[in-house]
Structure formats: C-alpha cells, structure tokens
Chain A
Amino acid sequence: SQQGEEDPQALSIQEGENATMNCSYKTSINNLQWYRQNSGRGLVHLILIRSNEREKHSGRLRVTLDTSKKSSSLLITASRAADTASYFCATERMDSSYKLIFGSGTRLLVRP
C-alpha cells in the first residue's frame, strides 16, 4: 500500500502566491523528505526532516512534520514560475532499511 500520499494532486496558483502541499503516511518513520521534479527529469532533493523535528526552513521553503497525525506539509512562499514542477514526499520507514517510499506527487503550476 502507498506510504506517502500527497494532496492535492494538482495545484495552480499565481506567481507571488504561496503554495502548500500535504503528505500523509501510514507507518512510523525515521525521516521524511521532499523532492522536486521538472518534467521528465531527475528528482532534486529539497529538505529532509527527521522524526524528532517539527519544522524546518530552507530559503522560501518551510516543511512541517506532525508524527502524531502522520503528516507533513511543504510551503513554498512567494512562488515563481520556475517553481512549476512536481513535488514528492518520500518516507524512510523505521521498519525497513534502504528504502525511500515515494508518493504520487503534487503537480504545481505557477502562472506568470
């Protein structure tokens, strides 16, 4: 069964607006990671948040983690057209080494 599920599946916003994407998972995790993928290209790592952390920032990105609700959110502030991409959460489960389980992703479109 799917470990990480992103919500929404697709998001369209105007440049300058904030974009929020959510991720839910089912089992206990060591960490949760967010990645970005431009169409047909490799994934780019954005942020890793460990299970004992609640919030992390990197530039215009803010990630929160709520282990009691088994959920995470990615906030992109002051979005730009270049932020248009698919965003994936990936979880490293406590009961399974070596594996990152990816969700299906959120497709973000930032309109100029």
Chain B
Amino acid sequence: ETGVTQTPRHLVMGMTNKKSLKCEQHLGHNAMYWYKQSAKKPLELMFVYSLEERVENNSVPSRFSPECPNSSHLFLHLHTLQPEDSALYLCASSREEQGYEQYFGPGTRLTVT
C-alpha cells in the first residue's frame, strides 16, 4: 500500500505467549517507528530508530522489546502482555527522523486474551 509492510495483520495471543511483530520498509528510509493506537486515544509513539540505533523510548513497559537489525526491518517482540495492550500497532518510516513525513504500514491488530 505505501511501501511499508507489516506482518501479521491480525494476532490473538494469551498473556503468557511470546510473539513478534514484523515491519519492513522498501523506501530506503533511515528512520523507523512503532506506534500504538488504542480505541478513543491518540496515536502513541513507542519507539524510534534512526540508522538502526534507538533514539527514543517513550517509557514503554519492558514487555515490549524492539529490534532493528537493519534500516529496512523493525521488529516488536511481545512477552507477557496484558489485555489492555490490545490495540492496533502501526509501523512507520521516514527519510530522516526529523522534518519529513512518515509512511505507515497497514498495522497489526493485536488482541490479548
């Protein structure tokens, strides 16, 4: 859709499971982002990576663990989640981490049971 892909599109997991979300951008961008979108709440920035280095961690609980092996791939590892973590998780990328528009993936709809 926009050069940013996310898998899986839907995920249901129990609170004791471990799963990972994957994001890949095909735009040659240097910055990648994870956002959380919950019902009736503004989009929340979780993590920012610039040139594979984490530059922002928005006080996210340690049960969310990001990984950026290269500038095209971003992962979000999930462990021991809570029901309130159910949300749409969006990945985005931009040319640089400042001053440019962001391109979003379609999101992963996560349900924690």
- The answer to whether A and B belong to the same complex is yes
A interface with B by C-beta (< 8 Å): 2, 30-31, 33, 35, 40-45, 48, 88, 90, 92, 97-105
Question: What is the bound-complex CA distance between A93 and B2, given in angstroms?
Answer: 25
Q: Which B7-55 residues have C-beta < 8 A from chain A?
A: 31, 40-43, 45, 48, 50, 55
**Neighbouring B residues of A35 by C-beta, 8 Å:** 104
Main secondary structure of the interface of A (DSSP, over half): strand
Are A43 and B90 touching (Cβ within 8 A)?
A: yes
- Say which residue of B41, B98, B100, B104 sits within 8 Å of A43 (CB atoms): B104
- Chain A residue nearest to B47 (CB atoms) is A98
CB distance from A90 to the nearest CB of B (A): 8
| Contact A97–B102 (Cβ < 8 Å) | no
Nearest chain A CB to B38 CB, angstrom units: 11
Does B101 lie within 8 Å of A30, measured CB to CB?
no
Q: Is B105 an interface residue (CB 8 A)?
A: yes
Chain A residues within an 8 Å CB radius of B2: 42, 44
In the complex, what's the smallest C-beta–C-beta distance from A74 to chain B, in angstroms?
A: 15
Chain B: minimal CB distance from A107 (Å) = 11
Point out which of A102, A103, A104 has the most chain B C-beta atoms below 10 A from its C-beta. Answer: A102
Is B76 part of the binding interface, using a Cβ–Cβ cutoff of 8 Å?
no
B99–A98 CB distance below 8 A: no
Q: Assess the B101–A102 pair: CB atoms within 8 A.
A: no
The answer to whether B102 touches A45 (Cβ under 8 A) is yes
Provide the residues of chain A in CB contact with B45, threshold 8 Å: 99-101
Give 4 nearest A-B pairs by CB, closest first: A42-B104, A102-B43, A45-B101, A43-B104
